[in-house]
Amino acid sequence: MLEKIGRVKLDYSNYSGEDLYCDGAVEDELLDIVKKLSPIEYAGVIEERKSWPVLYHLSPLRENIVDWIPLKKSDRVLEVGSGCGAVTGMLSRKAESVTCVELSKKRSLINAYRHSECGNVTIHVGNFIDIEPGLPKDFDYIFLVGVFEYGQSYIGGDRPYEDFLRLLLPHLNEGGRMVIAIENKYGMKYFAGCREDHLGTYFSGIENYSSGDSVKTFGRKGLEKLFRRCGISQYHFYYPYPDYKFMTTLYSDDYLPGKGELANNIRNFDRDRMMLFDEKNAFDGVVEEGLFSVFANSYLAVIGQGFDIKYVKYSNDRAPEYAIKTEISRDAQGSISVRKYPMSGAAREHIRGMALAYENLEEKYQGGNIEINKCTLEEKGDELYAQFEFVLGIPLSELMDKCLERDDLEGFHRFFREYVERVGYNSDYPVADFDLIFANILVSRDKWTLIDYEWTFGKPISVKELAFRAIYCYLLEDEKRNKLKLDRILEELQITEEDAENFREQERGFQKFVTGNRLAMAEMREMIGKRVLTPLKWIDRYQDSESVSRVQVYEDKGKGFSEEGSYFVQDACRGENLIELELKVSGDVRMLRIDPAMEACMVRLLELTLNGEAVPLDKKKKNVLVNGRVAKPGTYIFPTEDPNINIDMTRLNRSAENTLHIRMEIVRLSQEMARDMAEAVKRLI
């Protein structure tokens, strides 16, 4: 009835001998990985396999959802539905003991092998209903991470979710807490076109589920109603973003997001999704209206006392030596503290460097008009953190956005010129903060305070380089900011196109330096290959009138193509099978992608000029790349419903602002005919 794997104990006393919940062959793959490899090797395997289950079960970022909770070394923890152990290891490192309950033997074995060195972990294999009577009643914490929504399946009865809570509550000691991580059925992502996480269907939660659904999530009011029915009066809500699975930021009712913060929304790792609207813009409106708690994608509900920690931001998708987290706390006396912690032993020196950066930047800007947020280094035994003052103010980026919203471009440029003047003070001093972006400066009347300066280097950096990076990052964050004329800014800074390209290349190098060449989550999503489907394209495809078809344009400014960074050309000149476009393209666009149709077709480029100069279409020059078959230079066959023509702007003689003129003939084809034509061309070539 008992098995030991390494130091982990497995108890099969209540195991039926059959796994009633199984994801099939992928679990065998996961078991093979954890048997053969150490956790430090998982990152490489995740990138190599390009598999959602491997990413989901083995990514260390899954631990973020519990890492911030201040467990004590004396705490006893119950983890219900421990699965493959995504958070078990973190709980084990923080607590005295961890008791797991898991229905699946295969998943329990995966958990045990990956955490075999954890001598304080016991896994009970079997149904919770059978195991519950034998569990102790003195746990300090009970964790249900992605589990509570399965109450109907495993508890049953007329009120399974209330019964689930009533079964669990007696197992908490006095002052204990229950932590529930769960999706919000009214999460913004579901309205925008993500499928329901468990059922894989569109709008199931928004439509209040059907009577036969075995899994249900809840809105905030729904969870509160369940809590009250069970006599629970003390509870607190936290908001993991983008969701609880791969949380990068945690908000609370005491520290809600500001406008512009919620921009990381394309998270469909597991299945295709639609994109019905721009979630960032929708979130901005929700934040302004004070409705974030209604539309947050996930909840982390804490039954019992809350925590002093009100906000956490994780930056642990980096190289280990730069992996950190930032916490903002407020104690019972109202005192607020801001702390940055290393997320690995290798990152301790990075934290130490922040205190030195403060001293150096203080000296550099002495007598200038930039305040440096005070930093002190605190070290207590093994605990090390950099502590900062909590500064009130409005981010400079937000003030600039307000100028753009009211079309006050002169107001924007006044802020920008003031930024250049203040930041450029004592520019020859051999210290500079490379990350002097607008969002890192808080403005309170005439006081400008630099609040984040972790990327401070011991060398001078020219003000035009710092200012270019600030405006470059600012423009990449939100397409609404594209109304700015980049050439005016480059002219003010006396930056040539060659300078600008060098700065962009330097930025790409910096990002690789920070991540240690690890793939970002957005890159992992692209590798896994789940699509973002835009219904507007479908509408265009099935319109009766040819004249309403539109051409979609994507711009890559250094971070790849994205639906959020695309637009439809509304004013294309049209004739029979002809489309003529004139596109304004800023100098920071590296690659331009044009989708000429939403179905299989043949395209002939009749004219392609940049600033009046013809673009050579010779295949060897690689100015134009397509995802179809090249019949001859300028003529392409696309046996796909998503044809695209890619123009490499870096190979062309471009300037700060460019005019791209395109005239093309488009003949729509059936999928079968396009495939036959492409094959025929292939044989001829």
- The CATH number of the domain where 445 resides is what? 1.10.510
Per-residue pLDDT, 546? 46
Per-residue pLDDT, 646? 94
Taking phi first (over 0 means left), then psi (-120 to 50 degrees means alpha), and beta for anything else, what does residue 634 get? left
User: Can you tell me the distance from the alpha carbon of 423 to that of 365, in angstroms, rounded to the nearest whole number?
Assistant: 9
**Looking at the 3D structure of the chain, how many domains does it have?**
4
Q: Are residues 383 and 411 part of one domain? A: no
Q: Are residues 458 and 363 part of one domain? A: no
With respect to residue 58, please indicate whether it lies within any of the assigned structural domains: no
With respect to residue 32, please indicate whether it lies within any of the assigned structural domains: no
Both structure tokens of 661: 């003129």
Find out whether 342 and 384 touch, Cβ atoms under 8 Å: yes
Please name the residue that has the structure tokens 């476009």.
581
Q: Are residues 220 and 162 part of one domain? A: yes
Q: Are residues 248 and 363 part of one domain? A: no
* Residues in the chain, total: 685
Both structure tokens of 435: 């990350």
CA angle 208, 266, 67 (to 5 degrees): 85
Q: Are residues 304 and 250 part of one domain? A: yes
Domain's final residue, options 343, 361, 388: 388
Helices (H), 24-126: 25-36, 42-49, 52-58, 64-67, 88-94, 105-114
Q: Are residues 612 and 628 part of one domain? A: yes
Residue 364 CA to its chain's centroid (Å): 35
CATH number at residue 81: 3.40.50.150
- Say how many C-beta atoms besides its own lie within 10 A of residue 579's C-beta: 22
Domain's final residue, options 361, 388, 415: 388
CA angle 388, 463, 409 (to 5 degrees): 90
CA angle 64, 262, 205 (to 5 degrees): 80
Q: Are residues 223 and 89 part of one domain? A: yes
Per-residue pLDDT, 548? 45
With respect to residue 34, please indicate whether it lies within any of the assigned structural domains: no
Per-residue pLDDT, 171? 98
CA angle 610, 612, 617 (to 5 degrees): 50
Q: Are residues 299 and 167 part of one domain? A: yes
pTM of structure = 0.82
Q: Are residues 111 and 260 part of one domain? A: yes
Q: Are residues 488 and 403 part of one domain? A: yes
With respect to residue 299, please indicate whether it lies within any of the assigned structural domains: yes
User: Can you tell me the distance from the alpha carbon of 228 to that of 178, in angstroms, rounded to the nearest whole number?
Assistant: 15
Q: Are residues 380 and 305 part of one domain? A: no
With respect to residue 665, please indicate whether it lies within any of the assigned structural domains: yes
Find out whether 100 and 112 touch, Cβ atoms under 8 Å: no
Q: Which domain holds residue 673?
A: 534-684
User: Can you tell me the distance from the alpha carbon of 342 to that of 350, in angstroms, rounded to the nearest whole number?
Assistant: 8
With respect to residue 664, please indicate whether it lies within any of the assigned structural domains: yes
With respect to residue 591, please indicate whether it lies within any of the assigned structural domains: yes
With respect to residue 55, please indicate whether it lies within any of the assigned structural domains: no
Domain's final residue, options 491, 521, 551: 521
Per-residue pLDDT, 476? 85
113-145 b/e (C-beta count within 10 Å ≥ 16 → b) = bbbbebebbbbbbbbbeebbeebeeebbbbbbb
User: Can you tell me the distance from the alpha carbon of 474 to that of 482, in angstroms, rounded to the nearest whole number?
Assistant: 10
Ranges of residues in the chain with a pLDDT under 70 are: 537-550, 570-574, 683-685
Per-residue pLDDT, 242? 97
User: Can you tell me the distance from the alpha carbon of 59 to that of 224, in angstroms, rounded to the nearest whole number?
Assistant: 31
Q: Are residues 196 and 79 part of one domain? A: yes
